[in-house]
Amino acid sequence: MNEPLKLRLNVPSGLAVQPVSLPWLSKGWKIPQGFAPSVSVFLHMMNIEGTNATVVLGDPEEKVDLLGVISNDVKSQKYLGQLVAIPVRTGVRFPTVPADPRLGTLGDESHRDQCLACLAQLGLPLTYPLQLDGLTYSLQDVLQDSLANFDLHQKELEWTGLAYALYLPPLRQWKNRFGDRYSFDDLTNELLSRSLVHSACGGSHRLILLTILHRADKEHQILSEDVRGRLEEFLRGAVKLAVSTQRPDGTWPIDWIHGLIPDGAPQNWSAKDTLGADILIGGHVIEWFFNMPEALQPPRKTLEAALKAVRSRVCTLDERNFFADFCPNSHALRVVNLAAEKRSESSESSE
């Protein structure tokens, strides 16, 4: 299957939320002075703007095609100072930031298979070309390398699993270069058994992946009946917990996921609620809700309260503060404006 599954976001219509309008963003994305461009920032910009996303950077300033930087080594060397993707024995690889982030580079993806997963979400087929070292490769080569080196016990499965859920169905199984065979049942069971403590972005990417697996299974029956039932029961319980732990102001405590941790609340939890944490958790939880089928989504009042809380915080950010924590801020900006856009479309169609 060359085309990824097209699992559109389910943004309810008519949610009472206004768009975020940031004066410094009125002319498009621009890397502020003192901030370095990176693959992670580029992927998050594309998550908002799509495959045609551009950013102004450099001296003299130049408008740059972000997908071109990620898929062409000449452009990646020019704008990031290094290769973003490299040919390897088992295909093509987007290098991931090492365990010690101080050793990372601007061209490293922040999470294993982050680039592949994001490009799958953007709808790019596996035949999409990558120009590297004067030769033409494709995203199929990236998927091939990922499959060859897959390990069910790797530190992060969230982006690897997302890429597989979008590109592999109707296949239910795959094997790595050692001949070890895995299935979507194995992946789902592993995700459900892992603690959410220290999982990226407050565990929200884990919840998003499990929701995508649920939706992919609805289309292609990639799960066994037992695992399908276990997954749906978990998701219903997770939504119920999210609704019950939401604060009156629409935010969530950073430890709201404790009720989903298989081994109970950790004893050494030290994360603190802050303005940044409100944006991080709120924006990602709303995105998780938007990925759900309508039957699993929370009540409208839960969504509206969350959107208003996130919007009020994002609207206070100037350009430098926004870029200082680009990942969570971009997720929050995206979900608020998606909801506002859907509301506008609903109003126009009713006139």
6-52 pLDDT per residue, tens: 999 999 999 999 999 999 999 999 999 889 899 999 999 999 999 99
- Compare 198 and 160 and report the one with higher pLDDT: 160
Q: Which two tokens stand for residue 48?
A: 């908002």
Q: Which two tokens stand for residue 290?
A: 């938007």
Q: Which two tokens stand for residue 183?
A: 């299935």
Which residues pair with residue 88 across a beta bridge?
Answer: 91
Separation of alpha carbons 348 and 351, rounded Å: 5
Separation of alpha carbons 48 and 70, rounded Å: 16
pLDDT for the residue 329: 96
Residue 178: partners with Cβ closer than 8 Å, 6 or more residues away: none
- Helices 204-220, 275-291: crossing angle, 10 deg rounding: 0
Separation of alpha carbons 125 and 334, rounded Å: 23
pLDDT for the residue 274: 56
Residue 294 vs residues 60, 206, 313, 336: alpha-carbon distances, Å:
48, 19, 27, 18
The single residue listed with the structure tokens 């365990």 is: 99
Residue 127: partners with Cβ closer than 8 Å, 6 or more residues away: 2, 138, 139, 140
Separation of alpha carbons 174 and 180, rounded Å: 8
Closest by alpha carbon to 8, among 284, 293, 223, 345? 293
Average pLDDT on 266-294 reads: 79
Q: Are strands 181-183 and 173-175 parallel, antiparallel or unpaired?
A: antiparallel
**pLDDT score of 197 more than 80:** no
pLDDT for the residue 102: 60
pTM for the complete prediction? 0.93
For residue 339, count other CB atoms closer than 10 A to its CB: 27
Q: Are 206 and 188 in contact (CB under 8 A)?
A: no
DSSP H or E stretch at residue 237: helix 225-245
